[in-house]
Amino acid sequence: MSNVLLEVENLSKRYCRDPKRAVGYAMQDIWTDLRGRRPQPSLRDGEFWALRDVSLRVNAGEVVGLIGHNGAGKSTLIKIIAGVLRPTAGEVVMHTNRAVVMDHLGGLNPVQTGRENIANQLALYGISNVDMRQAIDAVISYSELDDFVDTAVGTYSLGMRLRLALAIYSQVKPDIIIVDEALNGGDIRFQSKFRQLLRDHIDAGGAIVMASHELFAIQSMCSRCVLMDEGRVHSEGPTQEVIHTYVRLSSEKDNQLARRTRPKSIVDDGRLPDGVRIDDVEIVASDSCPLYPGSPVTVRVRCNCSEAVDGVLCSLEIGGAGIFPLATMIGGYDGKGYSLHPGVNEFVCEIDSLPLAPGTYQVCVSVVTQDGGITLASRGYADDAVFLEVDNRLDPASNMAAYRQNIVHVAARWKQVPQQRELAELAFLISKGQ
Amino acid sequence: MYAVFGLMMAQTLLETFFTQRTIFSTNRILIGRQRSTVEALVLAGLYDGLFGLAIKAAIVVGFMIAYHTAPASTLPLGLLGIGVIFLLGSGLGLCFAPLSAINTDVDKILAFLPWLLFGLTPVFAPAVAGSGMSRIYDANPFTWIFDAVRGLVFGPALGQIAMLSTFLLISIFVLPAALLFCRIARPHVVERLLD
């Protein structure tokens, strides 16, 4: 017997951006359904694909993470799986009828009291009248909301709502739990209790589909991840690899945005004297690997000069995350400065260990005179931005640093100090000669 | 007694119409977050309407006792007529529920229109036969069922059974058809109600 609990086949869903057209399209779609026909899988004016050809399979005992940027299609996919929305094309095959969706409101009705919500939800999931009273008491006890259970849920805090929803679903004992960002609410105790419930659920042979932006939760819970981007499955596989891809994708998107909205010049090129021009800035890892935090880096600056100039400095500035400069490295200060000769001149800046966290940074290179600090040439922000892209390694710590948009990379070593009792036991064993 | 009973019938029709017309917008939190059957929402609305009807019936009985008004022998058929009004209001409400949920203009029009309609129906006072008002009343389809039910409860019942049967058939057809329509429309409506 197959242990597949959920299958999603070539799922597509279109939405309409224009509210005026949306009403007409809704009536058109209802009419199509009334005639028993399938909607045409094509876009009409003002529509876009919120999901396109998404396929997914979830087995028993598996936790599948859904990650992606806002608007990637995660929530739409969950709503279709939950049966709230109908797909434009494709199908969802659920090999169980016990699936619950946990979102940030838990699907509770704010007008009803906690007790009424419990009764309604339990009834919806098939708890019989005979078992109802006992189940309600169990939910109240689990949620620890005894004093508020006869108050309208609308007056509850977000954490209280989630506690109640969690307590209800702990009684329903579903086969599939679909979590849509629900881990982000509630206090530490609730989150810990929730995660324990999910782990118990997996141990009992259930499955979980978890959409979250909390990569700590995804890393700790999910064995497999699906990265969604612009309504499609971008990549799928082991969690670490997919998170790594996700972080890279985020970086690429930031990079594209930065290129589109190029920052203003920090140096007015119009004032630069003629004769010196920086032709090329090359940034490479000295060990010929991709650029990682802590990598040795070589920056080569090639500039063209029409006449000889003595006493110049070469400056390399790095900025990012709205801060410029983050670091300034100036060459030539330790003597009489460099000399520029007619023709091509090359300067090399070597960085032993790049102290930058994964991300995209901008680089500005200048050639200035030592006396007076007159800028002879500048390259970077003005017309042709130079980007420094620091990749993240395929490990959880690096993924997390990239996801949290750290700027500085600090090489550190960690270890755990044994407790006094453990040290005493160790000393005892040594003294016994074991 | 005429006005009290007329008001009871009008309110029954209006309340059931409004309750079912707004099932999607009233339950948007529920239907937007979990799969829930339209039938459950409709049944909840029907129970709500039945509770209101019971209160109204008690008030009418109180008035009948106070004014020493005896019901006609066709009272059971009259009660069936009230049931028909109840089902007709519910069915018509369901017919407009999807459009009312996704189009605020339609929603506002449908909130106002029934009141206008009942201004042209013999609810509070009878119209003199053959008068202009009577002709306006006759143009309103609800006049026929209201008059039939009134006749069956208080008399004279002559000729009212045919009218009751006609409206019974209409309501028996309209309610399931409207329910099916809402069931098909649900996911499309939910899509437009998501926040």
Query: Does A262 have pLDDT greater than 60?
Result: no
A33 to chain B: which residues are within 8 Å by CB? 184-185, 188
Q: What is the mean pLDDT of chain A?
A: 83
Question: Rounded to 5 degrees, what are φ and ψ at A200?
Answer: -60, -40
pTM here is 0.71
Nearest to B94 by CA among B162, B38, B158, B155: B38
Over residues B50-91, the pLDDT tens digits come to 999 899 989 988 988 888 888 888 888 888 999 999 999 999
What's at A293, amino acid-wise? P
Sheet holding A99-102, edge to edge: A99-102, A176-180, A207-211, A63-68, A224-229, A232-238
List the single best residue of B24, B30, B34 to mutate versus A (max A Cβ within 10 A).
B34
Of A23, A30, A110, nearest to B103 by CB-CB distance is A23
Over residues A241-258, the pLDDT tens digits come to 888 888 878 877 776 776
**Residues of chain B above pLDDT 70, percent:** 99
- What residues pair up with A56 in beta bridges, in sequence order? A8
**Residues of chain A above pLDDT 90, percent:** 13
Cα A168 to Cα A135: distance, rounded to the nearest angstrom: 9
Question: Rounded to 5 degrees, what are φ and ψ at A45?
Answer: -55, 135
Per residue in A338-347, is it b (16+ CB within 10 Å) or e — as a string? bebeeeebeb
Q: How many residues make up chain A in this entry?
A: 434
Cα A286 to Cα A300: distance, rounded to the nearest angstrom: 11
Give the model's confidence band at B20: pLDDT under 50 very low, under 70 low, under 90 confident, else very high.
very high
Q: Taking residues B161-182, what's their average pLDDT?
A: 90
A46 to chain B: which residues are within 8 Å by CB? none
pLDDT at B51: 92
Give the model's confidence band at A269: pLDDT under 50 very low, under 70 low, under 90 confident, else very high.
very low
Query: Does A318 have pLDDT greater than 80?
Result: yes
B33 to chain A: which residues are within 8 Å by CB? 84, 101, 103, 105, 107
Q: Taking residues B127-148, what's their average pLDDT?
A: 81
**Residues of chain B above pLDDT 90, percent:** 26
> Taking CA atoms, what residue in A is nearest to B177?
A34
**Residues of chain A above pLDDT 70, percent:** 92
ipTM: 0.76
Least confident of A63-77, A78-92, A326-340, A393-407: A393-407
Over residues A23-81, the pLDDT tens digits come to 888 888 888 888 888 888 888 888 889 999 999 999 888 999 999 888 888 889 998 98
Interchain CB distance below 8 Å, B29 and A84: no
B184 to chain A: which residues are within 8 Å by CB? 30, 33-34
pLDDT at A182: 66
